[in-house]
Structure 1
Amino acid sequence: MPPPFSEHEKKVRDHALLASISFLIVLPLGVLIPRYMRTFTNRWWRFHALINFFIAAPLVFASWAMVVSAKHVAPPRPIDHHRRVGYAIFSLYIAQVLVGAFIHFLRVPFLSIGNRPAQNYLHVALGLAILAMAGYQIHHGLYEEWEERTGNIHPIKDSLKHAWLALIITFWALYGIGLVFLPRQYKQEQEAALGEQDKETS
């Protein structure tokens, strides 16, 4: 029978759990909501902001706090690949929240590509990049980092690895399917832009 989890293992485990919930469930849901809802209702942004900031942010920061506290109950380690990627994801998440706030609260009409502000494209690309990096990072944690940090005294269950794969496939499949709404979205944005031009000229 394996020994109980050490204090370090508990913190690493909790970090992994919080990060996985954040980047495999909560944030993907926040991405899928506008992909599917924005062509049918103007209220999509409320749900998008609620999930990506008010729900995801506490989880992301708690995950970060867990891994920081884990360093204080274990021998010092040099900054490794997993930690570097983690720093990048955490920094990009903060940048993404700031870009989202900029898009919503500050309108910059001269920075546009077609009928959409350029920062909107940045927001989408950054969000997908974060989720792709997070998917890789969690895979690395499941298959390599946990064993390196703990000696694999408590092996990762296969069910967790299967859950990772299922969530990754589900998100990217749903996002790809949701792209069928892009023509409708662009048409609505074009009509809205023409409506604004008519108001200005009338």
Structure 2
Amino acid sequence: MRSAAASTMLSFLGLCAAVSSVKAADPEVLIHIPLLPFQKNIVAHGIVSAIGYLVLLPLGILLARYTRTFTNKWFHAHWFVQTIVSGPLIIASFALARHATTQAGTGHYNDTHKKWGLAIFILYWIQLAIGVLIHFVKPRFGFRLGGRPLQNYFHAILGLFILAASFYQVRYGFRVEYPLQSGRGKVGNGANIVWWIWVFLIPVVYFAGVALLIRRQYRQEALARDKSVPTATSSGENMAMNAAPGAQATY
């Protein structure tokens, strides 16, 4: 009996030693708790938001920035990415966030992340409306700066603001909001490293395009304006705004 008791005690001590060797900072090594439905929706919201706002929207902006002076088809690619590709993901992101907070019973638009999310979502649709106004309606009224309508500049600035706000929103989401809303603890540092690389890379690529191509763009737009003067025999149609690849450019 003593031998059996001693053996049992040694086994117990061995188990205790094994358990104590596990890092206290990693409790899920021993027990993995499956995500609850609302937590799954929070995770899905974060992934879809990151793809829609930090991958696809920058892609649409960079397409406009780099291709507009080389082809008059640049707008088709820009419009397709910003609307047809990004739009469904942005809508899905918003819907997932609403559904997750409804499931969790934590309320809507009652903290910084939720309020910013609603604001960015609304600004996205305002930005699309301004794009439609500029490229399809093409109003000829209002002030002009450097030969370009003010709404073109506003469209570009608003697009960059939405992108900057999205970077802030995504990082705030996985650093602060996710632990607060899910109760699962902080996201691994890998997400933070990727975010820092991306927030550095996208502006560098964008402003490199500005530095390399802005003079070419302005020359093309000036040429288009010179050709837009109607002749006595013309019907008065202004047909030259599409003559140069960058004539109706925004970004």
TM-score over 0.5 (shorter chain):
yes
Q: How does 1:1-150 map to 2 (within 5 A)?
A: 1-77=31-107, 79-111=110-142, 112-150=144-182
d(CA) in 1 for partners of 2:182 and 2:218?
50
d(CA) in 1 for partners of 2:162 and 2:232?
42
Shift of 1:55: 0.2
Q: 2:183 aligns with which of 147, 151, 165?
A: 151
Q: Deviations over 1:35-57 (max 9, x none)?
A: 11111111100000010000000
Runs of 4+ in 1 over 4 A off after TM superposition: none
Name whichever structure is richer in helix by fraction. Answer: 1
d(CA) in 2 for partners of 1:101 and 1:88?
20
Taking CA–CA contacts closer than 8 Å with sequence separation of 6 or more, which of the two structures ends up with the larger relative contact order? 1
Q: Deviations over 1:152-198 (max 9, x none)?
A: 34x4122222121222111111011011211111111001100112x
Shift of 1:110: 2.7
Q: Structure 2 counterpart of 1:26, which letter? A: L
d(CA) in 1 for partners of 2:164 and 2:205?
14
Q: Deviations over 1:47-98 (max 9, x none)?
A: 0001000000000000011011112211233610111111110010010011
TM-score normalised by L of structure 1: 0.94
**Which runs of no fewer than 5 residues in structure 1 stay unpaired?**
none
d(CA) in 2 for partners of 1:20 and 1:33?
19
Determine whether 1:175 maps to 2:206.
yes
d(CA) in 2 for partners of 1:107 and 1:200?
21
The two structures, once aligned, show a CA RMSD in angstroms of 1.4
d(CA) in 2 for partners of 1:53 and 1:77?
29
Shift of 1:7: 0.8
Q: Structure 2 counterpart of 1:42, which letter? A: N
Does the aligned pair in 2 maintain the 1:39–1:185 contact within 8 Å?
Answer: yes
TM-score normalised by L of structure 2: 0.76
Q: Secondary structure at the match of 2:227?
A: helix
Shift of 1:201: 5.8
Does the aligned pair in 2 maintain the 1:25–1:167 contact within 8 Å?
Answer: no
Partner of 2:224: 192
Q: Structure 2 counterpart of 1:149, which letter? A: Q
d(CA) in 1 for partners of 2:106 and 2:93?
19
Does the aligned pair in 1 maintain the 2:41–2:96 contact within 8 Å?
Answer: yes
Partner of 2:3: none
Q: Structure 2 counterpart of 1:188, which letter? A: Q
d(CA) in 2 for partners of 1:156 and 1:200?
65
Q: Structure 1 counterpart of 2:76, which letter? A: R
Q: Structure 1 counterpart of 2:228, which letter? A: E
Alignment length (residue pairs): 200
**Percent identity of equivalent pairs:** 34
Q: Structure 2 counterpart of 1:77, which letter? A: G
d(CA) in 2 for partners of 1:200 and 1:129?
41
d(CA) in 1 for partners of 2:232 and 2:59?
40
Does the aligned pair in 1 maintain the 2:48–2:90 contact within 8 Å?
Answer: yes
d(CA) in 2 for partners of 1:58 and 1:133?
19
